[in-house]
Amino acid sequence: DAKTTQPPSMDCAEGRAANLPCNHSTISGNEYVYWYRQIHSQGPQYIIHGLKNNETNEMASLIITEDRKSSTLILPHATLRDTAVYYCIVASWNTGNQFYFGTGTSLTVIP
Q: CA separation (Å) from 94 to 65, 91, 98?
A: 23, 8, 9
Q: Taking CB under 8 A as the rule, does residue 96 contact another protein?
A: yes
Burial of 86 (0-12, 13-18, 19+ CB in 10 A): buried
Q: How far apart are CA 81 and CA 102, in angstroms?
A: 22
Residue in 3, 5, 10, 32 binding another protein, rule: CB under 8 A: 32
Tell me if residue 52 falls in helix, strand or coil. Answer: coil
Residue in 43, 53, 67, 111 binding another protein, rule: CB under 8 A: 43
The contact pattern for another protein, residues 44-83, with x = CB under 8 A and - = no contact, is: xxx--x----------------------------------
Number of residues that bind another protein (CB under 8 A): 20
Which chain residues interact with another protein by CB under 8 A?
A: 32, 34, 38, 41-46, 49, 87, 93, 96-103
